[in-house]
Chains A and B, each alone.
Chain A
Amino acid sequence: MRSPWLSREYEKSKDVVVQKIKDGYLLKNKKNNSEFLLDEKLYNKYQNNEMNEIEWEMLFLKGLAIDKNCNDFKLNSDFNINNKKFIKSNNVEVFPLKTKNKNYRILINPDLGSWMALDESEYTRYEQNKLSKEEWLSLFIRGLAEDEKHTEVEFDFPLPADYPSVIVVNITTGCNLRCKYCFADCGPFKGEDMTEDVMDATIDSMLSMPQVKVITFEFQGGEASTNVPGMRKFIEKVEKVKHKYDKLVKYRTEINCILVTEDLISLVKQYNVSIGVSLDGPKMMTDKTRVDINGNGAFDRIEKGIKKLRDNGIYIDGAVCTIGQHNVHYPKQLMEYFDKIGMNFKPRPVNILGREKENHLTTKPGEWAKCFKEMHKMKDDVEVENFSVHIFEENVYTPIRDYICLRYPCGAARELVSVNPNGDVFPCDGFKGEKKFVMGNVLNDKIENMLKKSKIVKLRNRTAESIEKCSKCRFRGMCCSCCYSAYGKFGDIYREDPHCSDRKQIYIYLMQNWLENN
């Protein structure tokens, strides 16, 4: 049995003594008297630290091994595995999975996203209810089996937030580019800057938000760097009043790096503003989509802007790399490019809103998965972090759902809201060009109150069960349909993600990859 889910780094416990007996080797904890008999083969693996994570786990849950990274383990003396009666769970689905060398059956809990790989003989024993109690326990703690005596398993992991900690401040609708896939349909033909009354109301609304200890103001647009005076004005207003609230305030901005002025540099340095950039790879790729009003590629200007920021000692957090027909077939070149320029990046397919609806640049079925797999294979050959690799691995290999766009319910109107220059508030920055999704206006209402409106409550509780295709999907516990992308593609947020089939391929690939390499 193999699974990375709940996997830890184990080591032998100093409290354990080994006694050779007739049937094998008895491991005994001197302090709590727990014991476990290992046969010759398993004992040799134990001696040589060659046991896999599930074999270690059997010892760990009896207090016979320790977790290197966490010594907070409590084993109560009333726990006796022999008194348990484990049975199969109706919630579990089974599917076959082939790796290079072995055939497995995957047991998956679709709600949790937990899974275990059983080889053919293990699966036969599972089918015949002939697993050992310890093997059942490993299934049980992952929600992959039940206990007739109703032992409870509680996972205490971070839950989706109730109040936003990040607000995307669209400081202007103006932009100095006219990217072909812009979901907000921005460009030089727009140019509404945020007014001071909207700034004041936004700041008050966010800083008075209950429960939230850290507030991040993230400047976007349009193109935020075309309104640096607006950003400065906003930040100065926050700095002036923040002492009245018990909050830690952070600033960040996503820019296209075309207009890196002295004014921007000074603002970023003065207020420690984190920076992300939009960049689709090397010149031949970026120039195909990130263009100005005359259709001229922006790569050279972006590169110059990045250099200027770095020359001034400013660190760039990373790049959002939009994946579409202009770069999806070049995963190797993308990895090499971002490694060469030393910039972490997050590749993700074009979302189907705004100008993308006319230009059809997003990936076709199978293309994103293929691109992802190629990038994943190179992940250890580069110094930079590919955030998408990290995000997907995290969802498949662990119970953590840290990325708010790949978790039900998603972060829209939970971790995140977005405000336009006129004060209109949206549940997610992806909706900022869609009037239909306005939650309210900061000039008339507090964001906290907007969150309680019935249509927003419904959106905040958008789970897999509320989407027909997702509700039947075995991968729903590790996935989420992007609400604005689903809206863009189908005109309905209660639909599957437009890249659903690619997602499934990625999940299966990551399972195979882990089993082949661990």
Chain B
Amino acid sequence: MKKIKLKNDIVKNLKTSVYDKKIKISFGNKIGLGYDGCGTHTHK
């Protein structure tokens, strides 16, 4: 079977910039950018 195991307390691809006036943290991973079904939540 297709195994999906995601470690939930580590977010990969956190881009970070630290400037005097602004600290920006952005998320570049595709998870969270799309939604593909309402029944079983498969996190594709």
Asked whether, in the complex, the Cβ of A383 is within 8 Å of the Cβ of B3, the reply is yes
Q: How far is the CA of A442 from the CA of B16 in the complex (A)?
A: 44
Q: How far is the CA of A72 from the CA of B15 in the complex (A)?
A: 5
Q: A344-B42, A402-B31 given as contacts; is B20 within 8 A of A393 (CB)?
A: no
Q: A75-B18, A76-B17, A216-B37 given as contacts; is B26 within 8 A of A397 (CB)?
A: no
Tier of interface size on chain A = 35 or more
Residue of B with least CB distance to A168: B38
Distance of A474 from chain B, by nearest CB (Å): 20
Residue of B with least CB distance to A73: B16
Q: How far is the CA of A254 from the CA of B17 in the complex (A)?
A: 43
Asked whether, in the complex, the Cβ of B19 is within 8 Å of the Cβ of A218, the reply is no
- Residue A457, interface by CB 8 Å: no
Asked whether, in the complex, the Cβ of B41 is within 8 Å of the Cβ of A153, the reply is no
With a CB–CB cut-off of 8 A, which chain A residues contact B9? 4, 7, 393, 397-398, 514, 518
Asked whether, in the complex, the Cβ of B16 is within 8 Å of the Cβ of A72, the reply is yes
Asked whether, in the complex, the Cβ of B14 is within 8 Å of the Cβ of A6, the reply is yes
Say what secondary structure dominates the interface of chain B. Answer: loop
Residue of A with least CB distance to B2: A315
- Find residues 1-44 in chain B having any chain A CB closer than 8 Å to their own CB: 1-6, 8-28, 31-43
- Residue A330, interface by CB 8 Å: no
Distance of A312 from chain B, by nearest CB (Å): 15
Asked whether, in the complex, the Cβ of B25 is within 8 Å of the Cβ of A6, the reply is yes
- Find residues 296-317 in chain A having any chain B CB closer than 8 Å to their own CB: 315, 317
- Find residues 152-171 in chain A having any chain B CB closer than 8 Å to their own CB: 152-158, 161, 165-166, 168
Asked whether, in the complex, the Cβ of A141 is within 8 Å of the Cβ of B41, the reply is no
- Residue A126, interface by CB 8 Å: no
Asked whether, in the complex, the Cβ of B8 is within 8 Å of the Cβ of A398, the reply is yes
Asked whether, in the complex, the Cβ of A156 is within 8 Å of the Cβ of B42, the reply is no
Q: How far is the CA of A141 from the CA of B26 in the complex (A)?
A: 12
Q: How far is the CA of A2 from the CA of B7 in the complex (A)?
A: 17
Q: How far is the CA of A166 from the CA of B21 in the complex (A)?
A: 40
Residue of B with least CB distance to A67: B14
Distance of B18 from chain A, by nearest CB (Å): 5
Interface core residue of B6, B15, B32 (most chain A CB under 10 Å): B32
Asked whether, in the complex, the Cβ of A402 is within 8 Å of the Cβ of B43, the reply is yes
Residue of A with least CB distance to B8: A393
- Residue A69, interface by CB 8 Å: yes
Q: How far is the CA of A141 from the CA of B17 in the complex (A)?
A: 11
- Residue A294, interface by CB 8 Å: no
Asked whether, in the complex, the Cβ of A161 is within 8 Å of the Cβ of B13, the reply is no
Residue of B with least CB distance to A276: B40
Asked whether, in the complex, the Cβ of A8 is within 8 Å of the Cβ of B1, the reply is no
Q: Which B residues have a C-beta under 8 Å from some C-beta of A?
A: 1-6, 8-28, 31-43
